[in-house]
């Protein structure tokens, strides 16, 4: 997904070494904004055919970004407060299949292609 990789692409394309990649990144960005296919650009940039990064698991359970799951229960809290809504943030224009979960206190994920925050989609 171009939008997730764009900040890193821009960073590694700074300066004279990345001068050849910048026009390609710009063309990919224009194509994505116009709703055109970007796979050709992604392949040229070396972003396709990478093995997926496996989700860390422990006995079939997802391990949060902060490390291993708790071994003790948290302090009980009254059930009359606000509840978190589970779901994922998705592409705001439906142009790609990017899906991200946002943890408490984390920054809102942003689509670098359209320069807007990802849209929250609650689980049903």
- Whether residue 112 lies inside any domain: the answer is yes
Count of domains forming the chain: 1
Q: How far apart are CA 37 and CA 28, in angstroms?
A: 9
Per-residue pLDDT of the chain (124 residues; tens, 9 = 90+): 678 888 888 888 888 888 888 898 899 889 988 988 888 888 888 777 655 555 555 555 555 555 555 556 666 666 666 667 789 999 988 888 899 998 878 889 999 898 899 999 998 7
Quick count: other Cβ atoms within 10 Å of Cβ 9? 20
0.85 cut: is pTM over it? no
**Structural domain containing residue 100:** 2-53+85-122
Quick count: other Cβ atoms within 10 Å of Cβ 50? 8
For 20, 28, 40, the CA distances from 16, given in Å and listed in that order, are 8, 20, 24
Residues 6+ apart with CB under 8 A from 102: 89, 108, 109
- Whether residue 113 lies inside any domain: the answer is yes
- Whether residue 63 lies inside any domain: the answer is no
Quick count: other Cβ atoms within 10 Å of Cβ 3? 23
């Amino acid at each position: 997904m171009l939008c997730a990789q764009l900040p890193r692409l821009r960073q590694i394309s700074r300066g004279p070494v990345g001068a050849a990649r910048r026009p390609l990144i710009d063309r990919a960005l224009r194509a994505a904004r116009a709703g055109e296919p970007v796979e050709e650009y992604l392949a040229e940039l070396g972003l396709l055919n990478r093995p997926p990064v496996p989700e860390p698991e422990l006995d079939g359970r997802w391990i949060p970004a902060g490390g291993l799951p708790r071994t003790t229960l948290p302090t009980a809290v009254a059930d009359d407060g606000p509840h978190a809504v589970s779901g994922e943030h998705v592409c705001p224009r439906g142009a790609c299949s990017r899906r991200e979960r946002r943890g408490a206190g984390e920054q809102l994920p942003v689509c670098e292609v359209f320069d807007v925050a990802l849209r929250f989609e609650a689980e049903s």
